[in-house]
């Protein structure tokens, strides 16, 4: 009996260690900002929970940190991240997508973004979608604010945006089914994200 309990204890310990390794080997993005640079490359800006602070604060007062990468697609930027970082980029916990207005203005590049988001199941269809002049400027607010920026965006959406919640699912369906979708627009105001109105997203130009 004791031997059986001992074996069960060892298996539980190994399982726990494996889970800890998996968590430490991944960096879980909370917010993704996508801009179009003048060079034609995409700029992806990611906000992550700073897991190094979790142990220090015993799970309280977790902060977020940001990182920017450039490439011609989300996949290329992800590959760059995985090549040069000690952790693997994980999209499963994304809470918000912020799209820069220059990306939206470029019909071809915006279509490529819609295709990539549509064809990948890594991106949660329930994450919130916002517009901004420069998405990176909103995401980088995590370096100046206390707490998680993703939580602030969620509270902002709940308190100040009275219309229907706009998610990635809504945006993708609207694009391909040629139904205009208006999304909330953010700007930086005194070091915080501020809701300033709505703008309509373009729809696919392809004939059905």
Residue at 22 is within a domain: no
pLDDT at 54: 54
Residue at 140 is within a domain: yes
Residue at 9 is within a domain: no
Residue at 23 is within a domain: no
**Structural domain that includes position 78:** 28-201
Residue at 207 is within a domain: no
Residue at 44 is within a domain: yes
Parallel, antiparallel or unpaired: strands 192-201 and 181-189? antiparallel
Q: Is the pLDDT of residue 112 over 80?
A: yes
Residue at 206 is within a domain: no
pLDDT tens sequence across 28-44: 788 999 999 999 999 99
Residue at 195 is within a domain: yes
pLDDT tens sequence across 48-71: 876 655 555 544 455 667 788 888
Q: Alpha carbon of 28 to those of 25, 44, 123, 174, 198: distances in Å? A: 10, 15, 12, 28, 29
Query: Number of structural domains, the chain?
Result: 1
Q: State the Cα–Cα distance between residues 118 and 100, nearest whole angstrom.
A: 18
């Amino acid at each position: 009996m004791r031997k059986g309990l001992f074996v069960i204890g060892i298996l539980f310990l190994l399982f726990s260690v494996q889970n800890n390794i998996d968590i430490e080997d991944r960096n879980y993005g909370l917010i993704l900002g996508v801009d179009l640079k003048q060079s034609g490359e995409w700029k992806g800006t990611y906000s992550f929970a700073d897991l190094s602070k979790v142990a220090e604060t015993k799970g309280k007062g977790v902060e977020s940190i940001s990182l920017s990468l450039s490439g011609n697609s989300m996949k290329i930027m992800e590959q760059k991240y995985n090549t040069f970082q000690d952790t693997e980029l994980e999209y499963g916990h994304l809470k918000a997508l912020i799209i820069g207005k220059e990306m939206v203005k470029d019909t071809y590049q915006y279509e490529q973004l819609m295709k990539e988001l549509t064809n990948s199941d890594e991106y949660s269809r329930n994450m919130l979608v916002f517009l901004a002049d420069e998405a990176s400027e909103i995401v980088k607010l995590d370096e100046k604010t206390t707490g998680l920026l993703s939580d602030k965006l969620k509270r902002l959406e709940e308190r100040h945006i009275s219309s229907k919640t706009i998610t990635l699912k809504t945006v993708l369906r609207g694009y391909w089914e040629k139904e205009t979708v208006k999304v909330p627009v953010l700007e930086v105001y005194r070091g915080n994200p501020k809701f300033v109105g709505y703008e309509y997203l373009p729809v696919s130009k392809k004939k059905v």
